[in-house]
Structure 1
Amino acid sequence: MATGSKTRGGVFHAISVDLRRLHETWMELVFPRQRTSTHSVLGKWTPNTTTGWIGYRLWAALGVLIVALLYPLALFGFMARFYARKADGTATRIGILGVVAVSVLIWGALTVFAHFRFSRTGFLAVGAAGVVATISAALAVVFSRIGGRKTTVFLGYPFGMTAVFLPPVVAALYSPTLAQTIFPQSESLAIWLLDNVLYVGGINEFLRSRYSLSGLGYVGMWFGIAVPLGWILGGLVTLADLIRPK
């Protein structure tokens, strides 16, 4: 019982620290010296005028709402950061050539297996998927190594997502069996996104009038999904780093 109480206390303490840091970071967007001021000689900055106090309190109240919305996302960011660190640690140990070699080894073995067990279209499907996955994984590692956090978030994570999402779509272009599963599901997802997400500013109508969801259109669609998903994932990991630095 005592151990359980200590565990709950530790969790609640960690959450309270996270919330305070996140709110202080929000406050520091407008007001100076708000975060990590407990160990500062100067202490936390506070306004010295009535107007300043009003603005300070209003900004703080707005911050409570923002924190309530962001913290659940930050929790997901903690989990994503854990797996991202593991993947990054593995990539660091074996290097870019190692990542390429592992990908070529895995996909090469699958391609050889497909050559003996599947039709020519299935063989081409697995081979094409391997090329996409290998190039995307290599680019993800490259961009995570250069340019700092911004390059990692805006380029590294999207290519990482591309390595996950595009291979089965590319394979479906060659395999009728995969196409029967992936393309109808992709079409349903595309309709939902157009009707519920991309309706702002008539983007859905523009896409429907200019593009057809067939052939390479599916590849373009999933690349278009992988990129913002990579940005979102990278943003959540960045938010987790902001709240709980490494």
Structure 2
Amino acid sequence: MSTGNQGVVGAMRVDLRRLHETWMELVYPRQRGAQDTVLGTWTPDSQLGMLLYRVWSALGMPIIAFIYPLVLVGTILRFQTRRIGGTATRLGLIGVVVLSLVVWGGLAALARFELDLVAGGFTAIAIAGGVATLSAALAVGFRSIGGRGTTVLFAFPLAVTAIFLPPVVAALFSTTVAQYVIPGSDALASWILLDLLGSNSIAQFLEAEFELEGPAYIIMWLGFSFPAGWLLGLLVTLADVVRPTE
């Protein structure tokens, strides 16, 4: 147990050092990973320069203390997203589309011929499956293009959309699904307007101009999925910067 704890503490020390070096390199050259090189870490050669250097170093401490928990969250998320991404890579774009169609098609057939859901149940599942398939295909397509920016801007949000949006679409066509999805959507909207945005002008504008019903739920969840996907992508990127992998 002691060895394991030392390993965790040692990894955290490496993370914090990399974070601090990255902070220092925003202003000063040759800071990140330069400690063990021939030239070593760059430092100023004047008293004033060294004073400013130390002030900048001290300013980074509270920022690093705030960022590091996000790095740990990003590391956990990176493990899960890479498992999903690895599966998508092995399947390929066509494989992901075919798998999604098989799964959602099976659910639609079950609803149509076996479960005999309320009126609109088959249509709800079929349309939700189409939304999930399209979102997943676009996410895999953007990921295959490559590049961190493309992945964060498009692949992550579309992957989140593929998870969250289909139940909302299904709720518009099935009262059975709606009784579970709509109350949760209303609660999320209330939290965003009252707690997250507060009483600012954006919240007042949204509350005055938009009534949450019908397709407005889809727009709301799209508006939620993209920022959530961007946040997920940024956390994973932060983990890659601080704790790179092979």
* Normalised TM-score (structure 1): 0.95
Letter in 2 for 1:26: W
Are residues 1:113 and 2:85 paired? no
Runs of 5+ consecutive residues of structure 1 not aligned to the other structure: none
Which one is further off, 42-51 or 169-178?
42-51
Which one is further off, 176-185 or 230-239?
176-185
The sequence identity of aligned pairs, in percent, is 52
Cross-structure match for 1:208 = 207
Which one is further off, 18-27 or 191-200?
191-200
Cross-structure match for 1:188 = 187
Aligned mates of 1:51, 1:123 — CA distance in 2: 73
Could you tell me how far 1:199 is from its partner in structure 2?
3.6
**Which secondary structure state, in structure 1, belongs to the residue aligned with residue 27 of structure 2?**
coil
Match of 2:41 among 39, 44, 52: 44
Aligned mates of 1:84, 1:133 — CA distance in 2: 17
Aligned mates of 1:148, 1:74 — CA distance in 2: 21
Distance 1:11 1:165, change over 3 A: same
Cross-structure match for 2:65 = 68
Could you tell me how far 1:49 is from its partner in structure 2?
2.3
Aligned mates of 1:86, 1:129 — CA distance in 2: 24
Are residues 1:218 and 2:234 paired? no
Q: Contact 2:164–2:225 (CA<8 Å) still a contact in 1?
A: yes
Which one is further off, 174-183 or 226-235?
174-183
Could you tell me how far 1:228 is from its partner in structure 2?
0.4
Cross-structure match for 1:159 = 158
CA RMSD between the two structures: 1.3
Cross-structure match for 2:81 = 84
Cross-structure match for 2:23 = 26
Could you tell me how far 1:201 is from its partner in structure 2?
4.9
Describe the superposition over 1:104-152 as per-residue Cα deviations: whole angstroms up to 9, x where unpaired.
0100100100112213311111111101110000111111121400000
**Which secondary structure state, in structure 2, belongs to the residue aligned with residue 54 of structure 1?**
helix
* Normalised TM-score (structure 2): 0.95
Q: Contact 2:108–2:126 (CA<8 Å) still a contact in 1?
A: yes
Cross-structure match for 1:54 = 51
Which residues in structure 2 correspond to 1:88-103 (within 5 Å)? 88-103=85-100
Aligned mates of 2:198, 2:52 — CA distance in 1: 36
Aligned mates of 1:157, 1:136 — CA distance in 2: 10
